[in-house]
Amino acid sequence: MKFELPLKLQVLLHLFLVYVSWGTTFLGFSLTLQVVGPFFACGFRMAAGGLILCLLFLITGKWQKLSAADLRHAAFFGLFLVVAASGFLSFGQQYLPSGAASVITGSTPITMIVAGWLFAGEERPSLTQMLGLLGGSCGLLLLAFEQSMRQTAGSHSLYGVFWVLCATFGWVAGSLLLRKYPNVSKLPALQDCGLLLLLGGLECIAIGLWQGEQFCLHFERLRPAIVLAFAWMVIGGAIIAYSSYFWLLSHVPISVAVSYEYVVPIIALALGAWLLDEEVSWRMLCASCLSIGSVFLILMHRYHR
């Protein structure tokens, strides 16, 4: 008899995997950018993750023949969910600390839920959701205020903010379009995910080549911590996180799928304090409580299969 976890437990498991995987990505980018350019960092990470997934399907004999429509679907959504969402984020992190970048991307749920309601036929946010959004927004404002107290906002930091905001808009647009126009082929979900990561990664690498990032490599800075960070970004930040997120998009409302954004900044800031000896203030602790508490309010909203 085949055993299957109840839907609630499956949702919680996938959310946990997304929380941990993407919560560590900001630190991974900060380390990787010491060696390679932003689009190379994103492109090789995603292409490697996609290639691993595709090879697993080939080795196990579960690979299904691709159609031209499958390739177009993966290449199109790779522009939003890989090039924009991850490539622009990596580009912006050249000018921002990892904690500040994670705070900015934490605004994603607000944009996602409002845009989903206005443009994608999602349910109108309930009172409980609105309270969760309000609490999470207050937490993010506190985190943003804390970041502004720690550094003087100059032209470079504002440039970084612009690109990280573009990354969040790309992620929102790609997620909503993916729900509205899912791939109608018979490809397994993981094979479809692997194909998207592979093609999106190759698109990022192409942009990196166009930007001349091949002439700005610093392999002399390579050390074990950076190798481990990149390896985890491939396994956790690409394979585990993307496959879990795509599963959530097809099983729960947008509000639940993007609730990870309220926890990810907390994880990123905690890692910065632990590994980089960054100070944790009372404002950050209060913001953490508000942000994590908001997730539970959002998750109280009823989801469907």
Mean pLDDT of 225-251: 90
pLDDT digits (tens, 9 = 90+) for 98-115: 767 777 777 777 777 777
Count CB neighbours of 187 within 10 A. Answer: 21
Better-scored residue on pLDDT, 152 or 194: 194
Q: What is the pLDDT of residue 39?
A: 96
Mean pLDDT of 191-208: 95
Does the pLDDT of residue 304 top 50, yes or no? Answer: no
Task: Report CA Rg, the chain.
Answer: 19
Q: What is the pLDDT of residue 222?
A: 92
Q: What is the pLDDT of residue 148?
A: 61
Mean pLDDT of 32-45: 94
- Angle separating helix axes 264-275 and 7-23, nearest 10 degrees: 40
Does the pLDDT of residue 302 top 70, yes or no? Answer: no
Does the pLDDT of residue 155 top 70, yes or no? Answer: no
Q: What is the pLDDT of residue 1?
A: 44
pLDDT digits (tens, 9 = 90+) for 271-288: 766 765 656 667 767 776
280: left (phi over 0), alpha (psi -120 to 50) or beta: beta
Mean pLDDT of 51-61: 93
100 within 8 A of 29, measured Cβ to Cβ = no
